[in-house]
Amino acid sequence: MSQPCDKATWLSFSTYSWLNPLVETGVQRQINVADIPELAESEDTTANAKTLIVNLDAEEQEGNSHPLIRAVVVTYWKQLLLWEFLALASYFMGLLSPLLLQQVLIFQEAQTGKVTHLSTQQVEMGMAAVWTYIALGLFLIIYHSQQSFFQARLNLRIGSALRACVFQRCIKEREQAANSTAVNSNAESQESTPTVYNVISFDVGPNIDIIWIVLAVWLFPIQLFSALAVLFSQVKWAVVPGLAVVIIAKIICMVLLVNDGYLRHTQLKAKDERLGRCSESFNGIRTLQMLAWTQPHLDSIMVARSEELRAQRLRLWMQKMPAAIDYSLSTLVSLAIFAYYVLHEGKTMKASVVLPVISLVTSLVGPFGQFPTWANQYLIWRSAYIRVNAYMGLHSSGGRPRPQPGFEILPGGQAATAATPIVSLRTCTLTWGPTAEADDNDGDGEAAERSETSRLIADRQFSLKDIDLDINAGEHSSFAGSQAIGTVRSNILFGLEYDAGLYAQVLKACSLDTDLASMIAGDLSEVAQGGATLSGGQRARLGLARAAVLLDDPFCALDRRVATEICQALFAPPAGLLVGCAVVVAAADPWWLSCLPLDGGNLKVAILREGQILALDTPKKVLEQGFDELQKLSMEVSRGMGSGDGTGSAGMAMPMLAAASSVSNPQDDEVEEAAASEAATQTLPGEAEAKKKGGLLVQEHREEGYVKGNTYLAYFWAVGPAMLTILCVSLTSIMVFQNLCTLWITYWTSEDKTSTFMWPWLKPFYKSPPEDPRQLLVIYACLAAGFTASNVAGHSLEILGGVRAAHSLFGEALLGTLSRPFRWWDSNPTGRVLNRFSEDVEVMDLAVTNILGVIFGAVLYFVGHALVLAISNPVTLALLPFVAYGMETYAVYYRSTIREIQRMYLVSMSTVYQDMVEAIIGKVTIRAFGSSRQVLCSNAEALDTFQRMSFAKTCVGLWIGLRMSLIGYTLSAYTSLQPVMTYFGLVSAQSAAIVGFSISYSHGIISIIQQFITNYSELEMQLISIERLREYAVVEAVQPPALTLEHAWRELPGGMVMKDVEVVYRFGLPPALTGVNLRFTEGQVAAIMGRTGAGKTSLLLSVLQLVPYTGEIIVGGRCLAHFAPEVVRANLVGVVPQQPLIFSGSLRTNLDPLGHRSDDELWRALEAMGLRGVCASDGKDLNSSCGDGKLALSQGQQQLLCAARVLLRSPRVALLDEVTASLPPEVAMSTLTTLLSRFKDTRASILLVTHQEELLSACDRVVRVSAGRIIG
């Protein structure tokens, strides 16, 4: 591995030789992260972030305005001041160069004039000017390189600190506005995820760029007056018209760029919307595929993409047109100056005046050219600054107000006793959803319209008022939250030290030991994002194992037997694991209390109703008060489930659960015996091997070597052959007119015009060389106009071609991504996918077509300059191949290295994004566990790796730039020595104009070669983004379905048959389902029951054609495997998932995104589910948004809305997956009765996955699943 830059010697530091091991490795093999040099101590992400965060907190505490700006300045003012001095010195040295060139050309003019002998003073001054000019050029190469390196290091420090600071506020301190109408539990994370991407990717950068702009403002007066003074000394008042042209051009540019600044906000809003829809679709991909809704959501994303590209196209016009004007401006300004100089002042055009003036025009245009850029960058910064501040919760007018907690928690380390409350709530009021007052205002007529189900669910939305509550002594307080990507063990430990004995106890207490025994790598098996690869019960028990002390209805997703085991193992005295802890459990149905002592110990029950605590006492005393909420518990106790003497405590015999109906209990000892058998036979050779076996996530793929030709071809076809042809013609015109302008100036300033390159081309039109200044000026003006028009045309075509390609390639990548199967999404986390649709799409949108134009233009530019050099100095042209060969020698190292660094850069960015996704989704859990520091450190490590890749890219670019500049400077030095060689008679004398343009063009042609090499590598780096997007566009080949579904499919007979169905998720894994042979008749309701993880979900997924299986599944006499899976899910099979997912958009799009149903059909489906009253009240209609607070739905109402989606299709088979698990008992039965009756009306076979025995009375049949087999 290369050493960090701060460990290198001064020579290695100044020449970037410390990077040699890296570039040598890049030629030999594929580079890995370990090959990238570590960052210097001054660039350490954690250290920089810590300093900035401390300073930001201090600024906030003092209540200063713009705390973020102040904190950055306080942190880095010394380094920024040093850079300002370096920039000032660089400018003055650059201004000295044209003056030295003038003296060189005067020396050359003296040798080609009428004077036959030069004085000693002329020779000495000429020689000194030549050698000083050469030495200054060499020094500036090294100086500018080191200045850029210093700026890159400062950028790295500030950027890493700002990004870490933004993320720190997001996870640890950021206050989100309370959303009283959360549509679903992950609404906030869905909104935050794309926002944080855009803030960190696109808003942090402008907050750094503004620093360099502010520093440049201080230099402006010096640059402007010094450039004007030098120009005035050369052409006197002729500088005025040139200045007028600059001002007019820059006013036009400023208007365009100011509009671009305003458009940025529009574009980023469109980007936020597009990324938000991508994030929502990717996170809900399983639901979308179950509903066969991928196509309408793809269309929705493409609509947002079109809006984004429309804003992007407008911004590109605003950016490209100033660029076209700037590229032509030096020629136009020179035209204005020369016109005044020749026509008004009557001066003669001489090379020693013209060429320095052309160089000095650039110095004049530069300062004025910054004004439009400053205005544009200010508006961009303003937009980015507001977004960053808003996301971090900062206020530019003063410090951010600190939150005032409504509860108190004992400081860490303070011991709690039985008499000391660990948590106290005093007169607290907590409100979410529609308040009780709002509910009271509903009209009686409207309330009467609501179904009983809807009314019961709606009543569950309330606020807590004037709560006074003490939670007594315990050891700690925590939270059972969401699952992150990682192993089962890492999700349980969540940063705690591994204690094998305690860990085993926790696994047994939470009944996870049996599940882990059936996993191929035990607790080292990986978990997909959000626990997607676990069953609902396994996710619930994993949360219990992690925390188990602040629990939100933890047993609702568990079957009775497992729930009872866990309840006793955790809570039953005296041996329960949590007997000594303060535990708070929220539950709609606390039936599980029946297996605990109801009248002893510290067990208390609080009854909440309408936001008020009505009772708080031991369960036995509260039961005596006859509250409806404890009716089920009372029934359990009366059947002997519980007692007041502690017979349900740990260590006693397991109480048997009574069946809720005449249907026998499906849970039996066969489940335990099967799992125990698997556990007995499972052996793991070691943790490393186990992790490999249990690995779920695949390493992100990255290509090796050159970008493949098919990637180039794909992009060219996306741009369009006709568009590419016209673009090439326009770029050729730019080169032709630019070189004609140069050759015409050479002709104009030559004393012997018959010896110039242009005269042979003019002979057919003129008898003698034209010398009239007006005539020469008119021709130069025409050439300048053609040059300007070609510039505008070329830039315009780049915009049109680039936007066209961006739309096409994005659509292909999105289609391929949404078509991926479940198993692909399990092994490719959402953050990784979103990174490609964020960063890679941004590269594609902005850069590729532009770089193509630059490269093609560079080739043409090289040809034109080579022609001029061939005319002026053939020897220089002969040296060119040797210079090009030397550059290419180093370029081989550069290209091989930079490609791999770019790929690692994008992969490391995926890691950063994925860590953000996990942290944002689970930030409530992270805060509750007090794990913010641990998570932030982990994310800082990922960010540090990303910064290493970014810094390595910059440094390798400086490495090749320095070497190519030094090699190329040999050619410039040779041409600069021409006056000296002329003096000694080594070469024939030539005009000063030819020598001047030869010197200028030698610089230009070296820059072009260097630009071509670096831009080609830049093109490859950018095409890597196209390569990565096209990788997602390629989908697995699928055998086309043999049959199409007839139009009369609704008339097909009902029922479903499963023959020898076996499900295997991945090669090498045991079957998740095997030997399934079942028959379900039309209209039959079958309960699918079994222990969590037994295979119930796998059975449903096989029917939905979402997992690979063997055997046959027949519906209505049609084998489902013969149809496209989307056709099956859209028509024959419908599913109501366990976790309802409501998408952003209107109620209509949440019911029928394809727009196939009429309004009447939609209202009938809602009415059938008892939702019409809720969805039509207070002026709401089908177009009411589900995401802006207008339509607030509770958990149960969301479940009914999901059922209405399926009911609209009248499927032959309806799958209900734990649809009532999280509902109160009285609501659960009412909801299920409604669902079953509606689906029976459509003659569907209904499969109800449930563990709630009280629901079995509504079923016709029970199917028992154990260890992937049907056992009854």
1052-1093: per-residue pLDDT in tens? 667 899 999 998 877 767 788 888 999 999 889 999 988 777
CA atoms of 262 and 278, how far apart (whole Å):
25
State which of 57-61, 403-407, 489-493, 1063-1067 shows the largest mean pLDDT: 57-61
- Structure confidence at residue 852 (pLDDT): 63
Let me know: does 105 contact 996? Beta carbons within 8 Å: yes
Write out the H or E segment, with its range, that includes residue 258. helix 239-283
Let me know: does 43 contact 160? Beta carbons within 8 Å: yes
966-983: per-residue pLDDT in tens? 988 888 888 888 888 888
Give yes or no for residue 1170 having a pLDDT over 70: yes
Please provide the DSSP assignment of 988-1000 as one string: ----HHHHHHHHH
Give yes or no for residue 457 having a pLDDT over 60: no
- Structure confidence at residue 442 (pLDDT): 40
Task: Of 95-104, 770-779, 1034-1043, give the lowest mean pLDDT range.
Answer: 1034-1043
Q: 294: which residues sit within 8 A by CB, 6+ positions away? A: 281, 285, 288, 818, 819, 1126
**Cβ neighbour number for residue 426 with a 10 Å cutoff:** 12
CA atoms of 1202 and 1182, how far apart (whole Å):
15
Give yes or no for residue 688 having a pLDDT over 80: no
Give yes or no for residue 620 having a pLDDT over 60: yes
Let me know: does 565 contact 513? Beta carbons within 8 Å: no
The vertex-691 CA angle with 690 and 695, nearest 5°, equals 120
Full-prediction pTM beyond 0.75?
Answer: no
Let me know: does 707 contact 1024? Beta carbons within 8 Å: yes
User: In a 10 Å sphere around its CB, with 0-12 CB exposed, 13-18 middle and 19+ buried, how is residue 457 labelled?
Assistant: buried
Quick one: which of 358, 380, 356 has its CA closest to 261? Answer: 380
Task: Give the mean pLDDT of the chain.
Answer: 75
Task: Of 560-564, 585-589, 684-688, give the lowest mean pLDDT range.
Answer: 684-688
- Structure confidence at residue 368 (pLDDT): 66
CA atoms of 853 and 874, how far apart (whole Å):
29
Q: Which residue has the higher pLDDT, 262 or 424?
A: 262
CA atoms of 1027 and 708, how far apart (whole Å):
8
Query: pLDDT tier at 706 (50, 70, 90 boundaries)?
Result: confident
Give yes or no for residue 765 having a pLDDT over 70: yes
Residue with tokens 């009911």: 1207
Give yes or no for residue 635 having a pLDDT over 90: no
Give yes or no for residue 460 having a pLDDT over 50: no
- Structure confidence at residue 41 (pLDDT): 84
Query: pLDDT tier at 258 (50, 70, 90 boundaries)?
Result: confident
Q: Which residue has the higher pLDDT, 505 or 1103?
A: 1103
- Structure confidence at residue 814 (pLDDT): 92
CA atoms of 1038 and 907, how far apart (whole Å):
29
Query: pLDDT tier at 147 (50, 70, 90 boundaries)?
Result: very high
- Structure confidence at residue 408 (pLDDT): 35
DSSP 8-state assignment for residue 600: S
Query: pLDDT tier at 131 (50, 70, 90 boundaries)?
Result: very high
606: which strand partners? 616
- Structure confidence at residue 958 (pLDDT): 92
Let me know: does 727 contact 797? Beta carbons within 8 Å: yes
CA atoms of 875 and 878, how far apart (whole Å):
5
- Structure confidence at residue 175 (pLDDT): 41
344-389: per-residue pLDDT in tens? 777 777 666 666 676 666 666 666 667 777 777 788 888 888 888 8
CA atoms of 468 and 1231, how far apart (whole Å):
34
509-545: per-residue pLDDT in tens? 777 777 777 676 677 776 665 565 666 667 666 666 6
Q: Is the dihedral of CA 667, 669, 674, 676 positive or negative?
A: positive
Tell me the average pLDDT across 172-179.
43
Label residues 49-70 b or e (16+ Cβ within 10 Å = b). bbbbbebbeebbeeeeebbbbb
500-513: per-residue pLDDT in tens? 777 777 777 777 77
Give yes or no for residue 947 having a pLDDT over 50: yes
Tell me the average pLDDT across 170-191.
43
Give yes or no for residue 668 having a pLDDT over 60: no
> Radius of gyration over alpha carbons of the chain, in Å?
37
The percent of the chain in helix, strand and coil, each rounded to the nearest 5, is 65, 10, 30
Query: pLDDT tier at 1045 (50, 70, 90 boundaries)?
Result: low
- Cis geometry, peptide bond prior to residue 574 (ω within 30 degrees of 0): yes
- Structure confidence at residue 359 (pLDDT): 66
Query: pLDDT tier at 132 (50, 70, 90 boundaries)?
Result: very high
Beta strand 550-552 pairing with 584-586: parallel
Tell me the average pLDDT across 800-814.
88
Percent of the chain at pLDDT above 90? 6
570-581: per-residue pLDDT in tens? 777 777 777 766
**Cβ neighbour number for residue 966 with a 10 Å cutoff:** 17
For residue 148, which amino acid is it?
S
Q: Distances from the Cα of 835 to the Cαs of 278, 756, 817, 830, in angstroms?
A: 11, 57, 13, 9
CA atoms of 946 and 906, how far apart (whole Å):
8
Let me know: does 1032 contact 816? Beta carbons within 8 Å: yes
For residue 109, which amino acid is it?
E
CA atoms of 239 and 673, how far apart (whole Å):
96
| Residue 427 dihedral angles phi and psi, to the nearest 5° | 45, 45
Give yes or no for residue 498 having a pLDDT over 80: no
Write out the H or E segment, with its range, that includes residue 636. helix 631-638
Q: Which residue has the higher pLDDT, 452 or 492?
A: 492
